[in-house]
Structure 1
Amino acid sequence: MQKNFGAPVVGLNPSYTPNISNLQTGFALEAEKLFVDYQASQEYAADLFNTLHPRAGQPEFVPELLDARQVILFKSMRGQKLNLEKLKKEAKSLLKAIKASEKLAVHRITTNHPKIQVGAKELEDLKLTDIQHVLARENGFDSWPKLKHHLLDLETTARFIASGGKIDTPKTAHIRCGNDIGKLLELAGFQGDFHEVIDPFAIGPVFPRKTGEKALAIRGAYIDGMLGEYLPPEEKRSLFEISVKEQTFLESLPANYEEVTLWFEHDAFDQLCLAHIMHHMAEQPLPLSFDLTLVQVDHFPGVKRFLGLGNLGPEPEAISLLYQQRLEITPAMIAFGARVWDAFTSRNPIDLWRLVQETNVPLPLMQNAMRRMLSELPELKSGLGFTEMLALTILKKEGPLAARRVFLFLLAEHDPQPYHGDIMFFGVLKNLWQGERPAIEIVGEINAPGPAKEIVKLTEYGEQLLAGDANWLAANKTTRWVGGVEINSQFEKNWFFDPETGPVLLD
């Protein structure tokens, strides 16, 4: 297979920073159009509802605008196979919609065309090449030729897979924090072993000597209290068992493999797992006895709201193409990842803050993810972390919502760097309604299988927290952790976070 790519997706640097306001406006306009088209019995709209709305098949289902929003948000996170001919047709349709001043079309152009954004070009002067440029930017490329190059690379890779070609060897280990790509690797003809690293370092206490039994007991008790009710019995395993298994596997790599590929996206959950592995690698004699490579992505063409490798869709050529673009992990990357792990597990968050202030670091996406983790320290006024504040913001804007919808809105259009899985977020919500002075309250329950059936709404105290007129730690018994930093309402002083100046220790 080829190794030179004119339009690589795998990289070390952030490809973009989502503008949350633009994202929300775009989704709202898409939902309005879908809702109108559904009411007009347009086939595509009915198909979208039937595919993406869990209640669409029920006889009594009469969708509202909120349902259309849900469909659009789910659609934004699904991988859609791109086709050059369809993209050319879309460009022509979009240009026509611009000429007709359709709101959604205008929004897409004004948020994605550089010359329109700075006033160097007017909408009425747009040509087809301008629209193609916008489509390329929407898919993560800075030019139409690069988007075409990517599609050609995918076609070449698909033919290679169909021919029975093998892209790796049985002496390759593929490491991922979850099992979302395991099946895709099989479909793409990978021969190496697939291994999961699944300890959720983004929640609960994380100590420097993580494998110590006492530390793991503290961590395990915290996570069980936060997430236990949402986990089915078959998924409950002791953290000690998980930790020992993962450590044993990492120690076995030199004896069993010639190449080890780490598969991680940009979010804090993944980047903490990556830092943990880098910390282990830093303790090994260098050079390593195997090739250590990295597949790291923060976007993929065809996925509007890219959250992770699980968004890629069912076609195996995407995962195979990413593997071909894998990067060599350098000693500098290993050293930086180890420093991040030491700083994250420190009891003093200033260590991590200093790391995120450094310039020209070898792993910028990891640095961004650590800034997001620091934002989980209590906010100066409310005493809540960033995720908790986002949950309250969503309920303030939307009114009462099912917990599942709060999570969807957080994931798809509110959190600039989401890293929570569903049960992790439900644990956050639970804390907000279980406090002595709850910020949200349960007002009903949806009729659906699975956990998190609660319908929740903002309380008057929650309104005060959002306005900065109340402090959660002053009114509620609280113990939570961000890495090695314990936040405890019983402490005389706690660490708070100012996004401009960093962590500060206050009464």
Structure 2
Amino acid sequence: MLHIVNGDSVGEKLKQGVVQGDILVWREVYSAGPIFANPAGEKERSLRARVLEDTLGIPTGEYTKGCKEQEQRLREFNTHDEVVLWFEHDLFDQSMLAYLLHWFKGQKLGNTKLSLLNIGEFPGIERFHGLGQLSSEQLKSLYGTWRPVGQKELELGSDLWQAYAAPDPLVMADLLEQRRTELAASALPFAYAAFQGHLSRLPSVRNGLGIVEQTTLQAVRGGASTPLELFSQVTDNLHVLGMGDLEFWKVLGALARGAHPLLIIDGADGSTDFRALPGFLNRQVALTELGAQVLAGSADRVAVQGMDEWYGGLHLLGHDIPWRWDSSNGMPVQV
């Protein structure tokens, strides 16, 4: 039996007698960087590796080596009688799950059974962020509760992944609306909220802030005054994204860099990577006057700062971008 899990913390706990079989930790951050229908292509991987190094600080060589090693283990799946996918409700996990279902759809499973454990809550945990919160004993209680993955789930997962990799966000928006009922009734009930959360990261029609930037500036205005406080508050409020610290530091840095910052981080100037500052987690953070204007909707973040960001397969670059998020309709709009 092979268990494919979403992180090292979960993987290590499963090894403590929780499950029988081998563990494969799928180390990817599909919620960041460029996404392609086939991310294992040479050109695609090279671009993705370069962007992840530039934005998240993940060394290119380390990333490429890790991808090749885990893909080799994945290709050996049919040496196991069953493969169990362990995932949770947020975008970090649902994008990973969509990719794996897309990949398995293209394989001949033969005698290997494919199963899925896909959860969004756990008894006794009020604010469930994910499987990493659970103890070994709590994880053990999930043993055998997974559901079989059939052709329906493989096709839904593959469609989600291909929509996520599309450079047109309306492909995903249309899929979510047209197949919302089907998703809710399947083994993928969290996909709608997760990928809707993904779309809400696009810059708003109101002020050019995506949901992460908007929530960050609101948290500063509300009294959060350090990167550590901001990370805690923003990821709690936007738990549907499953955002890790590397992703959040990238967002925070973008808001504070350049000639027109929306935030000021104590000790950092417009060109400094604040993560290199001693004790950066507890540095003071404050709104600039421009940041307050953007929050109020009297200035537009993209117009004043520009952007260089990937949202799945969509790359938004510069001050004049073609896509925005309309929160009133819950849809991306072309401008």
Alignment TM-score, normalising by the size of structure 1: 0.60
Shift of 1:397: 0.6
**SS at structure 1 position matched to 2:32:** coil
Shift of 1:178: 1.1
Shift of 1:189: 4.5
Counterpart Cα distance in 2 of 1:501 and 1:224: 32
Shift of 1:501: 4.8
Residues 488 and 494 of structure 1 are in contact (CA less than 8 Å); yes or no, is this contact kept in structure 2? Answer: no
How many residue pairs get aligned? The number is 322
Match of 1:248 among 72, 79, 103: 72
**SS at structure 2 position matched to 1:381:** coil
Match of 1:375 among 200, 214, 224: 200
Counterpart Cα distance in 2 of 1:338 and 1:284: 12
Counterpart Cα distance in 2 of 1:461 and 1:416: 28
Counterpart Cα distance in 2 of 1:178 and 1:218: 24
Match of 2:103 among 276, 280, 284: 280
Counterpart Cα distance in 2 of 1:179 and 1:360: 32
**SS at structure 2 position matched to 1:245:** helix
**Counterpart mapping for 1:231-310 below 5 A:** 237-254=61-78, 256-285=79-108, 288-310=110-132
Counterpart Cα distance in 1 of 2:257 and 2:76: 44
Match of 1:497 among 309, 325, 335: 325
Of stretches 465-474 and 258-267 in structure 1, the one that deviates more from structure 2 is 465-474
**Counterpart mapping for 1:66-145 below 5 A:** none
Counterpart Cα distance in 1 of 2:103 and 2:291: 42
**SS at structure 1 position matched to 2:9:** coil
Identity %: 30
Q: 1:311 and 2:121 equivalent?
A: no
Point out the structure with max Rg over C-alpha: 1
Equivalent residue letter for 2:221: K
Residues 198 and 241 of structure 2 are in contact (CA less than 8 Å); yes or no, is this contact kept in structure 1? Answer: no
Counterpart Cα distance in 2 of 1:288 and 1:494: 45
Q: 1:208 and 2:37 equivalent?
A: yes
**Counterpart mapping for 1:329-478 below 5 A:** 329-357=149-177, 358=179, 359-361=181-183, 362=186, 363-398=188-223, 401-412=225-236, 414-415=237-238, 417-443=240-266, 452-478=281-307
Q: What residue number does 1:129 align with?
A: none
**SS at structure 2 position matched to 1:417:** helix
Counterpart Cα distance in 1 of 2:140 and 2:61: 32
Residue-by-residue CA offset, 1:380-424 (whole Å, 9 max, x unaligned): 12212111111001001115x110110011123x22524111121
Residues 264 and 296 of structure 1 are in contact (CA less than 8 Å); yes or no, is this contact kept in structure 2? Answer: yes
Equivalent residue letter for 1:347: P
Residues 91 and 194 of structure 2 are in contact (CA less than 8 Å); yes or no, is this contact kept in structure 1? Answer: yes
**SS at structure 2 position matched to 1:220:** helix
- Unaligned runs of 5+ residues in structure 2 are 269-274
Counterpart Cα distance in 2 of 1:388 and 1:501: 17
Q: What residue number does 2:48 align with?
A: 219
Equivalent residue letter for 2:94: Q
Shift of 1:217: 2.1
Residues 199 and 242 of structure 1 are in contact (CA less than 8 Å); yes or no, is this contact kept in structure 2? Answer: no
Counterpart Cα distance in 1 of 2:227 and 2:42: 35
Compared with structure 1, are the counterparts of its residues 288 and 384 closer, same or farther at alpha carbon in structure 2 (3 Å cutoff)? Answer: farther
- Unaligned runs of 5+ residues in structure 1 are 1-171
Note the aligned Cα RMSD (angstroms): 2.1
Alignment TM-score, normalising by the size of structure 2: 0.90
Equivalent residue letter for 1:284: Q
Compared with structure 1, are the counterparts of its residues 452 and 212 closer, same or farther at alpha carbon in structure 2 (3 Å cutoff)? Answer: farther
**SS at structure 2 position matched to 1:187:** coil
**SS at structure 2 position matched to 1:398:** coil
